[in-house]
Every structure is written in structure tokens, then in C-alpha cells.
Homo-oligomer: A and B are copies of this chain.
């Protein structure tokens, strides 16, 4: 294939057109919500709010910043594990996420906070925009090294749109709870990305295989991503939960689940290698599955031991997935999943949805208190007569809706991305920064490596 990978006019035009559209759409639609508007002092008086500390900003800003770090540093550095793809991993994540959060502010605004012709944004909008982009970053993980930045921008445009529709169906029509996004972010993102990867299947990818692996330092860089994802995941799962006990509980559950997940991931990683050696791929990825798998139920009464069980199981399944399922998918289903997102987001996302459904279905007013139960599941207004069993069923339905949206949406977007005009790399130049980046050519003249011997065992 002799695709033209010179993006000189295509990439700038795509970026500038998208940004110009943002200016117009933001100009027409986007305004500050009342907590970020200078009328806030009057509003406070009006609503009998006695302190600025009641501004939602102070409840959510620390969590927002953590989530923000997860998207750009977490996902970005996690994908630097490839030996020659660090610039692209960081740079393309940066690009798609920067565009994605703007587009998500609009899309989610139209669906969730559109009033009197305007979208009203505040700190929770920023968190939700980052969440939405998180889903795109998940999908990017399957495609890493095989797509151009233009393809990523187009995918972001469509995926954010579909994400928002799916989220609207789940949260506003089915009225499910999914604070940490096991279904809306991870399941949707993973199966969307896998479907796109399936359509973009490259039969001759083995021509780039020697670059589809890590080197020592690239693995260390990837650990920056892993650790910031792991550490801030409690913020991720609690960022948009109700003030007070729900946010508090979501943090505790996520903390417990992730801790347990590390031990089982390490256990399986060692058990699956004949010399008992640990594999960095598992440490970098499977240790995070526990955060995904408690996403939906984190704010519910999952209980600390429940979280530990969920985390333990996720770590085991995820590590097994990296060892057995990823090669199977590639060989038999023709899905080339670069980062193994099926093991980190796909299956754990499904687990998360199921755990959420079961936890919701088994909720009782003994455990939650009557007021607590109504509060936790919003059993008011349209949901006044919904039992927790019914809530559980709706939660389960949410999994299937997310899957369906991901498969259909991913199929359509995959076909669009298959067009040969987007500057994608040829099979022999995948996983290679040099296609899209000016690479520094000169190494320091060995002063720091005087004993790096030319011939060695």
C-alpha cells in the first residue's frame, strides 16, 4: 500500500476547521452555569446558601483535577510502552483529548444541560467531558500505532457523539446509575475500539512486529501512566457521585478493589511464566482492572469486602486475558488490540456492569435506610415506583445497550476510517513515530555511555 502519510495540509486543515467550528458553536450555545456566573452572590442570597463553600466547585474540583491528570498523563504515558511510539502516544492523546473535551462539552451540554437555548457549564461539565474523552482514549488503545492523527480526530468526533447518545439512553431513559462509567466509558469505549480495530485489520502487520514491543526505559515511562491512573481512580469513580456519603464510599470501594487487584495480577503474572518471572504488561495494565470493575457499583453498598472480591477477580481475569485472549483475538477473530484494552476495559467493564446490576438489585432499605435508598438510586419523580430489583434489571439492560451502541457505532466509524485518504501508515511503518514526527537524530556522543560495548553476550 502506498498511502500518502504527508499530512501537511490535511492535518492542519482538519484541526483548524474543527477549532473554528468550536468557536462558532461555543459562541452560540455555551454559557457559564449559575455557580460560575458573577450573579452568584445574588443567587446565594436567593437560595439561602450561606457559604461559598457550597459552590459545587469546592466539592468537585480536586476530583476534577485528578481525572484530568488521568486522561492526559495516565492514558498518555500508559501508551508510551512501545519502543518507538512515545511521541505519538503522548502527542496524539493530547490532541484527541484536547479536541474531545471541547466537543464533549457541547454534546453533553445539548443532552444534559440545555436550558433556554444555552448550555450551562460548570465544574461537573468539565469532569463529564474528561470522562467522555476517557472512552475515546480507551478505544485509541486498540488502534495505537496503526492510525493517523486525522483518523483519531475523526474517530473522536464520532465517538464522543455516540458516547453522549448512549449515556443519555442509560442515564436519562433507563435511569441507571453508572458513576464510574463501567458501562458508559469502559464497556462502550472498549468494544467500540475493538470493532474499529476489527474493521481496520491489517493482515501484514507482522512487518512491523519488531517494533510492537517495549524497551527498558519505555516500560518505565509507561509506569508513570499506570501509577497515576491507579492512584487517581478513586477520584474517577467518585467524581460525579452525590455529595457526602456517596463520594466518600466510592473512594473507599475503589481503593480497596484496586489494592486487591494488584495482588492477584502479580500472582497470575508469575504463575503464567515458566520461570515465575513477572511481566511488565500485566503490572502496567491488569492492576488497573479493579478500578474499571467497581465503576458502576463504587457508590453503592458494595461493602469493602465486596470491592476486594471484585478487584481480585478482575486482576485474575485481566491477566489471563493478556496471556491467552489477546493472541486468540488476533489470530482467530482478526482483532489486533495493541494495548489489550479488551482485558483492561472490555471484560472488566462488563464485570462492572454486572456487579452494578446485582448490587442495585440486592439493595434494601435495611442497609441503606429509607432516605438513603431513595437518595442513592434517585427513587423519586419518574422512578418513584421502581423497586431495586427493577433497577437491577435496568442496570443489566444498560450493559446490552452499551454493547450494541459500541458494535454498531464502531462498525460505521471503522468503515469511515478505512477510506484510504486519512494518511494512515503502511503496514511496514506501524508503531513508528518517524512517520508523523520530526525525530531528533543526534545522540549525545556517548559521554554518558562510554562502556556501552558494541559486542556483548
Q: Is the CB of A270 within 8 A of B376?
A: no
Residues of B within 8 A of A436 (CB): 277-278
Residues of B within 8 A of A13 (CB): 267
Which listed residue, B39, B214, B259, B309, touches A101 by the CB 8 Å rule?
Answer: B259
Given known pairs A30-B304, A308-B23, the reply for A256 and B15 (CB within 8 Å) is no
Given known pairs A216-B86, A277-B437, the reply for A258 and B98 (CB within 8 Å) is yes
**Shortest distance between the CB of A186 and any CB in chain B (Å):** 21
Classify the interface of chain A: helix, strand, loop or mixed: helix
Q: Is the CB of A57 within 8 A of B231?
A: no
Residues of B within 8 A of A437 (CB): 277-280
Residues of B within 8 A of A244 (CB): 35, 40-41, 44, 52, 55, 57
Q: Say if the beta carbon of A201 comes within 8 Å of chain B.
A: no
Which listed residue, B57, B214, B261, touches A251 by the CB 8 Å rule?
Answer: B57
Q: How many residues of A contact B (CB 8 A)?
A: 157
Q: Is the CB of A453 within 8 A of B445?
A: yes
Q: Is the CB of B304 within 8 A of A263?
A: no
Q: Is the CB of A266 within 8 A of B434?
A: no
Q: Say if the beta carbon of A387 comes within 8 Å of chain B.
A: no
**Shortest distance between the CB of A110 and any CB in chain B (Å):** 14
Q: Is the CB of B438 within 8 A of A283?
A: no
Contacts A15-B266, A19-B312, A72-B227 aside, 11 further interface pairs with beta carbons under 8 A come to: A32-B249, A32-B303, A38-B376, A65-B235, A80-B220, A90-B227, A91-B283, A94-B230, A102-B308, A280-B437, A434-B447
